[in-house]
Structure 1
Amino acid sequence: MTSKDQCGIFGASSVEMSDEDILAAMKSISGYIDITPSDFQEIYGIAYRHAIERLSHLVKAEDIMTRKVVSVGPDTPLSEAARRMDEMNVSGVPVVDETQTVVGVISERDFLLKMGAEKNGSFMAVIAECLSNRGCVAMPIKGKTAKDIMTSPAITAQKGNTISELSKMLAEHRINRVPVVDDKGRLAGIVSRGDIVESYCAKVF
């Protein structure tokens, strides 16, 4: 069971609802309210959804982002970038210039695409290519640097973006993490899907 599933199971009974949430729920139900168990359940469900919506707009990127970010420079050799990602157990890193401005992002998918995974970025496609060619599929990118395979321009978020906005951003661009930048485009942190799920558990539930 994932942490997201656990939030769905345990969070529903422990979310804190305000008077505003209850009133909003009651106002949304037309006609006379005779409080029965089913009526209460309906009010609770609406109030619960209202609470989730309200709180998801209160938590910002700066509240949940990881501030100590693993990053690489445009001229970082891919061998070093891959080693750093492995050591830190991350699947993607921002690429920053000398002023810490985000100029791109490197992910496992970028490596896979350059190693024969084609459009879907599948690890199994790389395995298939390796087995059919009887050789190392990493050879085409040996000696290359971060700027040769990075996705650029990078999708970035602002410190003030809400959880709701961050979730939409990740879904629309089909990415697993987004660098957070300041008003000058300099790296300030990073938010992953895991950070968003954890924030719902810790802050919303």
Structure 2
Amino acid sequence: MRVRDLMTPNPVTVHSHTPVDAIAQLLVAHRINGVPVVDEQQHLLGVVTAEDLIYRGADERFEPRESLWKENFWISFLSPEGAQPGKAEGRTAAEVMTHKVHSVGPDDDLSVAARLMVDWRITSLPVVESGVVIGVVSRIDLLRRLHEFENPLKREN
């Protein structure tokens, strides 16, 4: 079986300028773990996952800040030149996304997707054809197929 047989076509995607709060709302509304970040031609730029957004919760500054302006000043003053905001401070997809993304092609065997997910602990993979995101395949998709394969009698009932 090929990836195209199991993938979710036309996945939810975001652009690099999409605000983090809008991405979080999409993940919750669609009950998904991540979204591909694409350009205007749907070329893959990166991926934002729930894990990328949880850095905000892991940021231990839960107390109200004395002065956000003062904090940003010291961060910009003490940070190396050209430093990008960390995931906890990122405000857009471009600032929090993972740039080095594993993906699969629609004609790849499902075992390729499964191996990538296991080896890299990935929950879903963008499906890319000619550089364009055309779908997503997830662990749940693979599990559903495995369950059908191992329980053929249940499908007939």
TM range (shorter): 0.7 to 0.9
Spell out the pairing of 1:6-25 with structure 2 (5 A cutoff). Answer: none
1:99 aligns with 2:19: no
Q: Which fold has the larger relative contact order, with Cα–Cα distance below 8 Å and residues 6 or more apart in sequence?
A: 2
Residue in 1 that maps onto 2:75:
none
Matched residues in 2 for 1:168 and 1:197: separation? 13
Give 1:69's match in structure 2, choosing from 11, 20, 29: 11
Give 2:121's match in structure 1, choosing from 162, 174, 183: 174
- The percent of aligned pairs where both chains have the same amino acid is 29
Q: Give me the CA root mean square deviation.
A: 1.9
Give 1:150's match in structure 2, choosing from 86, 97, 103: 97
Q: Which has the larger share of helix?
A: 1
Structure 2 unmatched runs, 5+: 66-87, 153-157
Residue in 2 that maps onto 1:48:
none
How far apart are 1:116 and its partner, in Å? 5.7
Matched residues in 2 for 1:161 and 1:135: separation? 49
> Structure 1 segments of 4 or more deviating over 6 A?
none
Q: TM-score, normalised by structure 1?
A: 0.58
How far apart are 1:153 and its partner, in Å? 2.5
Residue in 2 that maps onto 1:83:
25
Residue in 2 that maps onto 1:189:
135
Largest Rg, 1 or 2: 1
1:83-140 deviation line (CA, Å, top 9, x unaligned): 1111111111100101101110000111123x263xxxxxxxx6xx36xx4349xxx5
Partner letter of residue 49 of structure 2?
S
1:61-83 deviation line (CA, Å, top 9, x unaligned): 00000013111001111111111
Q: Please tell me whether the aligned partners of residues 18 and 92 of structure 2 are also in contact (alpha carbons under 8 angstroms).
A: yes
1:108 aligns with 2:53: no
Q: Please tell me whether the aligned partners of residues 34 and 50 of structure 2 are also in contact (alpha carbons under 8 angstroms).
A: yes
Residue in 1 that maps onto 2:110:
163
Partner letter of residue 181 of structure 1?
V
Residue in 2 that maps onto 1:141:
89
Q: How many residues align?
A: 129
Q: Which has the larger share of strand?
A: 2
Task: State the SS of the aligned residue for 1:194.
Answer: helix
Q: TM-score, normalised by structure 2?
A: 0.75
Give 1:198's match in structure 2, choosing from 122, 144, 147: 144
